Amino acid sequence: MRIHSLYVDGFGKLRDLSLSFSDGLNVIYGQNEAGKSTLHRFQRAMLYGLGKRPGGSPRQDPHRFRPWDGGAFGGTLEFSYDGSSYLLKRDFSDGVGAPELFLLAEDGSTEVLPEPQALLDMALGQLSENSYRNTVSIGQLKSAAGREMVQELRRYLEGLESSGSAGLRASSVLARLAAEKRKCQDKLVSEASKSYSLLIGEIRNTERELADPRYHNLLLHYRALQRDSEAERTALQQKKEMLLQETAQAREALRSAGFPEETALKAALQDSEQLYRSYTEMTTRTAAQHGPALLLRKLLSAFIADKTGKSRKELTERLEAILQGQLGEHTISEDTMQQLRQRFRTLEGSFAALREKEEALRLLSEDLKRSTEEMQDYTQALHEQHMLRTEVEGRMQHLSNIRNRVEQLAHVLSENKRLAQRIDALDLAMETISLLSERVRLSFGHYLNEEAGRLIERITDGAYRSVWIDDQLHILLRTEHGEIPLESVSSGTIDQIYLALRLATARLLLRDARERLPLTLDDSFAFYDENRLRAALHFIREEYDGQILLYTCHRREQQLLRRAKEDFRLLELG
């Protein structure tokens, strides 16, 4: 990647500033407060944007870079990558500045690219902004002296060896993941699964009990039976009352006829027949008394009358009384006797009908008793059904409450499952990061011990032949006389080592990139003496084959470069 030009429409104190760069070394000179650091920040903002990118971490407050005069806020950056030229445009007025990318054709035409961020990421070698700041964008190296600088180097190396990024330490990531795991574990409801199983069992038992036939709703059935029984009982009662009335009337009629009981009728029948026979015999004997034997017949009749104690008159009166009472006719004759016999047969029929009615009444009373008992049974059954319905309603309400709790627990179990999956994912992430951290540490350790050592030997003109970084990130410098702890060397040497490590890291992180990224140094050598500065400039020109943008507030760099007859482009900020 090569940056050909920058145009600042408005950014902080900068306004309407245009700069063009060469493919090699560019020295951007400006006195203090001329806007070098602001321009450096604009360059990074054009590449990565401002504010917070989606899914990213927050950056510096974009409002601090708003133009002082309140005008346009943004600019353009022209660069080339993989044989093509592009114009990158950003408007930071929204606090972020989404990229607009145009392909620049050789004929001067432009083409809007639909997915600018994807191509921009490729041009930047998939390097994150954090890694960019810790590798190819180097600020002032003399940030601290002595022991503080050594600690900074160790933190830098820890991030490199554990994660491959100078700004990201595996230990910090693992600590955050462990904290997240603890939060997830604290949210787990440990007894939810057990409670859920118990409630499901209780639901099944309750449903099984409610399926028992005795809990079937028979209210309508028993009410129908009760209505039928009541109707039957009413009909039987009405029929009984009718039979009672008919029986009473029949018995009254028989009583009026002089026969309250059937035995009296039978006795009257026998008595009337006997009386009639006696009457007939007496009548026959009286007729026979006319003639020669009259005297003899009189004697015989007197004897017979005296023997029975009954006179003809008495017989006649008794028989006439019976005829009068039954027929209203007192004449004694065969016809009246036939009528009397017919009357007695009619009365016998009445007694037979009375017996039938009384039997029917007896049977009807039994049916009525049975119907009454059934009615009582149905009433009791309805009472029991009402009680069962109350019990069922209570059980159904209990079942509904259980189901509500089960539904709530189902959400808890679902959340538990999600948390468990999250915990498993965190465990896997921690395991993977630990494993990868070890692999990265081994690979970085080997690389840094070789590549950084080679670069350090060159940047220090052979004063230190190599660097050794042990498992505890103790940094040792090797000389012809032995190993020297980093803490014992000068701050200038530590600055040189820091620069060498960053360049070595940039090479490793961008080893798969198609092109080198521009190396940007912002007053990185402000505290170098002339010899170290000369060595550093020579070292950078030889070791970094990409574009170099050197921001400085001193003229030493351009003077030394001219003395060394190095090619470079000078850009001065007013």
SS (H, E, C) 42-71: HHHHHHHCCCCCCCCCCCCCHHHHCCCCCC
Tens of pLDDT, residue by residue over 500-528, are 877 877 777 777 778 889 999 988 887 78
Report percent pLDDT > 70 for the chain: 80
Strands of 330-379, DSSP E: none
The rounded distance, in Å, linking the Cα atoms of 480 and 418 is 60
DSSP states of 486-520: GGGS-HHHHHHHHHHHHHHHHHHHTTTSSSPPPEE
Read out DSSP for 7-31?
A: EEEEETTEEEEEEE--SSEEEEE--
What average pLDDT does the segment 412-428 reach?
A: 82
**Beta partners for residue 112, in sequence order:** 102
Residue whose C-alpha is closest to residue 161's, from 428, 447, 431: 447
pLDDT in tens, 158-175: 555 544 444 445 677 778
Place of tokens 């103790």: 474
Q: Residue 54 pLDDT > 70, yes or no?
A: no
What pLDDT, on a 0 to 100 scale, did the predictor assign at position 46? 95
**Using 50, 70 and 90 to split pLDDT, how confident is the model at 473?**
low
Rg (CA), the chain: 66
What was the pLDDT predicted at 219? 57
Beta bridge partners of 6: 19, 77
Token pair for residue 2?
Answer: 């090569």
Cβ pair 36, 30 in contact under 8 A: yes
Confidence of residue 58 (pLDDT cuts 50, 70, 90): very low
Please tell me whether residue 168 adopts helix, strand or coil conformation. strand
Among 120-129, 435-444, 522-531, which range has the highest average pLDDT?
A: 120-129
Q: Is 523 helix (H, G, I), strand (E, B) or coil?
A: coil
Provide the residue type at 353 as one letter.
Answer: A
Three-state SS for 84?
strand
pLDDT at 470: 62
Residue ranges covered by each domain of the chain? 1-126+516-574, 215-392
The first and second tokens of residue 216, run together, are: 């079937």
Residue 563, pLDDT > 90, answer yes
Q: Which two tokens stand for residue 234?
A: 């009413």
Q: How confident is the model at residue 461 (pLDDT cuts 50, 70, 90)?
A: confident
pLDDT of residue 144: 40
The CATH homologous superfamily to which domain 1-126+516-574 belongs is: P-loop containing nucleotide triphosphate hydrolases (3.40.50.300)
Beta bridge partners of 476: 468, 485
pLDDT value of position 60: 54
